[in-house]
Structure 1
Amino acid sequence: MGADYGERVDRSGRYRIAVAVGNPDHAEQLTRTAMDVARERDGEVFVVGVLVKPQESPFALFTDEVVTRKFGGERRAVLDRAMEVAAGSGVPVSGRLFVADSVARGVLHAVEVTNCDCLLVGWQERNRESAVLGTNVDALVRRASCDVLVEKIGAVADGVEAVLLPVAEGAHADLAASVARAIAVANDARVDLLRVVAGDHEGAEARGLLSRTADQLSDVEVETVVREGGVADAIVAESERRDVTVLGATRTGLVRRQFVGSIPQEVGRRADGTVIMARKGDGSLVSRVFRL
C-alpha cells in the first residue's frame, strides 16, 4: 500500500523510469538524472519512497495507511523535494510512498506494480565487506527484472560539459550508450568514448568498436580515446577530466566478472565525479550474470 503525490500521469504504455529516493542530499540529483533519461524517450519519472515496517516490531500492528499518515512526514518531504525539480521541465513526474519490511522489497514492489522500464538508485560507499555496493542496492541489482542504473553522486558541479563512456561489447553496452547520450543532450555536453586495451595489437579492434559506438550517438559531439593499461586505473584517470562517467555492465571485455564486482566498485570509490553503472534487464541472463 502507499500514498500518491504529485502529478497524475498517463499509464498507457509510456516509458517509465522509477527513481528511489531516501537520502535528502541526493534526491534532487537522482531525479535530474531520471528526467534526462525519461526526456530522451518521451517518458515519465516515478519517484519512490519507502517506509520500513519491520515484521517483528510494534509498527507491525499498524496498517500501512496509518504508518504512512503518522510516520511518513520525513519521507514525504524528501519525495516532494525530488518532484519539485521537475517543475516546468515538461517531464511528467509523480511519486508514491510504499510501506514494506525492507527498502529493497518496497522498491521492487513499486517497480512491479507501476510496470517501470528502468530503476535508478543511488549508491554511497559502505565499509561492509559482505556487500559490494550496499545491501539494498545489491538486492535491487540482482532481483529487479527491469533495467537498473546505479548512480554514485560525486563532487557537485555547475553543469555537465563532458560524459565519459568506457565502451565494451555486451548486452548492457547499448543501455550505457543511451544513458550517456541522454545526459549529453540534456546538458549540451559531449560524449568521450574510452576503450582500454592491453597493447598495440588491440588497436584496430578498439578503433572499430569506438566507431560503431559513435554511430549510436547521433546529434551529439563525440571524441574517442584509446588507452593502454589497467581497466579501472584508466577509467579513473580519464574520469578526472569529465563530469559524469557511465559504465555499462558486461560479462567480458571492459568489465570482467560480475557487474557489481571489483572494477565498478573501484571506479565508483576512486572517481571524484559522478559514476553511473548501467545494467540491462534480461530475465534469466540477469540472474546468471549478477548472482552475488
Structure 2
Amino acid sequence: HRLPSDFLVLRDRDLDESEILLPVTDNAHADLSAEVAAGLRTAAGSAVTLLHVVDSPEERERGEQFLADWATERGLGDAKFVVDDSGDVERAIEREARDHTLLVVGATERGLLTRLVTGTLHFKIVEDVECSVLLAERSSGRSFLRRLFGWARSLCSALAIDRTGWLRTESS
C-alpha cells in the first residue's frame, strides 16, 4: 500500500500550460513542482512565474534572495520572480493566478492526501482560481493508509482521546 512514486492531481479547466504559476516553499514537494514546471517549460515552451510569500515588507529582501537561490538550484533561474510581502499565502496565490493558465501547487510537509481528507488544503484556492490546478506530492515512503489516515491519530492525541474512543481525563 505504499505509493511507489511521486504523484500529480490535475483540476482541469481547459488545460493550457503556457503561463505557469508556481508558489514556492522550501520542501521536497516544491522540488517536484519545480521539476514539473521545468519539464513543461522545455516541452511546451511554458513561461514560469515563481511566487514566494513573506510575512512583512521587512522580509522582502530575504525572500527575494531565497527565491533567486531556490530557482537557480532547480534550473529555473530564468523564471519571473514575484515576492509578496502581505503574509497572506492564499490571497497572494489567488491574485497572481489571475494572470496565469496553470497553477502548480506542491503539498506541504503534512502531505497532499492528509490535507485533502482533513480539508486543510486550500480548497478555496483550488476552487476559486479560474486556471487549471496541478497538485504535486513527492513520495515519502509512508504507506497510503498512513498518509491518508495518519492525521486521525494526531487529532486523537491533540484531543486526548484514547484507543477506546473515550476522552481521557487526568484520572484515566
- The verdict on a shared fold, with TM-score over 0.5 as the criterion, is yes
Q: Does structure 1 conserve the Cα–Cα contact (< 8 Å) formed by 2:71 and 2:77?
A: no
C-alpha distance in structure 2 between counterparts of 1:271 and 1:220, whole Å? 26
Say yes or no: does 1:201 pair with 2:58.
yes
Matched, 1:173 2:25: no
1:251 Cα deviation from its structure 2 partner:
2.5
CA-CA distance at 1:204 after TM superposition: 3.0
CA distance in 1: counterparts of 2:67 and 2:148, whole angstroms? 24
Given the two structures, how large is their TM-score scaled by the length of structure 2?
A: 0.71
SS at match of 1:250: coil
Which runs of no fewer than 5 residues in structure 1 stay unpaired?
Answer: 1-107, 109-142
Q: Following superposition of structure 1 onto structure 2, how do residues 1-292 of structure 1 map, counting pairs within 5 Å?
A: 144-154=3-13, 156=14, 159-218=16-75, 221-227=78-84, 228-251=86-109, 258-260=114-116, 261-284=119-142, 287=146, 291-292=150-151
- Matched AA of 1:146: S
Report which stretch shifted further, 170-179 or 281-290.
281-290
Change (3 A) 1:272 1:147: same
Post-superposition shift, 1:234? 1.1
Higher relative contact order (CA 8 A, sep 6+): 2
Q: Give the deviation of 1:285 after TM superposition.
A: 8.7
2:31 touches 2:74 (CA, 8 Å); kept in 1?
no
Offset at residue 232 of structure 1 (A): 1.2
Q: Which has the larger radius of gyration?
A: 1
Cα separation, 2, equivalents of 1:272 and 1:290: 31
Amino acid at match of 2:129: A
Quick check: 2:3–2:142 contact (8 Å CA) kept in 1?
no
Which residue matches 1:119? none
Aligned to 1:45: none
Counterpart CA distance in 2 for 1:219 and 1:184 is 9
Q: What secondary structure, in the 3-state scheme, does the structure 2 residue paired with 1:291 have?
A: helix
Letter in 2 for 1:274: S
Structure in which a larger fraction of residues adopt strand: 1
Contact persistence 1:251–1:259 (CA under 8 A): no
Partner-residue secondary structure (3-state), 1:165: strand
Deviation at 1:221, TM superposition (A): 3.9
Deviation at 1:201, TM superposition (A): 2.8
Q: Deviations over 1:142-187 (max 9, x none)?
A: x634211111112x26x43311010001121110100111112222
- The CA RMSD measured in Å over matched residues stands at 2.9
Q: Could you state the TM-score of these two structures normalised by the residue count of structure 1?
A: 0.44
